[in-house]
């Protein structure tokens, strides 16, 4: 029997919750499923991806995390359309490139940074 069966959640440390929440919900299209705020230093926003899977939780309670230290990978059905949509929303995106997973992989991708400096990759599913 495996010790674990499913990846449930990833916490992301943020400095400015309203900006981070807007970025992940409005720019990337994730759904806010919980928004719990005790005060500015203890605020959590849980987000779900359209096709399910692990949730992302933005948090102002940094504990042992530092904003801007993660690299996130997301998949999309149409990398060119995603690139255009984010660019049209004012996100500073890199150009679309090939071979994210090494020479010959043929995986199209681009990247950008979120409002706290975390690197976000979008790759063709």
Task: Give the model's confidence band at 5: pLDDT under 50 very low, under 70 low, under 90 confident, else very high.
Answer: confident
The reply to whether 1 falls in a domain is no
**Distance of alpha carbon 108 from alpha carbon 99, whole angstroms:** 6
| Number of domains observed in the structure of the chain | 1
The reply to whether 58 falls in a domain is yes
Domain that holds residue 85: 9-124
Q: Which of 29, 27, 65, 62 is nearest to 44 (CA)?
A: 62
Task: Give the model's confidence band at 106: pLDDT under 50 very low, under 70 low, under 90 confident, else very high.
Answer: confident
Locus of tokens 């199209």 = 108
The CATH number covering residue 31 comes to 3.10.180.10
Please say whether the beta carbons of 105 and 99 come within 8 A.
yes
**Distance of alpha carbon 34 from alpha carbon 54, whole angstroms:** 14
Q: Judge whether residue 38 has pLDDT over 70.
A: yes
**Distance of alpha carbon 99 from alpha carbon 78, whole angstroms:** 16
The reply to whether 4 falls in a domain is no
**Distance of alpha carbon 31 from alpha carbon 25, whole angstroms:** 6
């Amino acid at each position: 029997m495996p010790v674990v069966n499913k990846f449930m959640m990833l916490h992301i440390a943020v400095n400015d919750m309203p900006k981070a929440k807007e970025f992940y919900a409005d720019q990337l299209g994730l759904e806010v499923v919980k928004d719990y705020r005790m005060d500015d230093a203890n605020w959590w926003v849980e987000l779900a991806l359209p096709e399910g899977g692990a949730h992302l939780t933005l948090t102002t309670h940094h504990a042992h995390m530092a904003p801007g230290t993660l690299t996130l990978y997301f998949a999309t059905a149409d990398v060119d359309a995603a690139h255009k949509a984010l660019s049209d929303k004012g996100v500073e995106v890199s150009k679309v490139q090939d071979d994210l997973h090494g020479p010959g992989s043929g995986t199209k991708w681009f990247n950008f940074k979120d409002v706290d400096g975390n690197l976000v990759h979008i790759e063709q599913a």
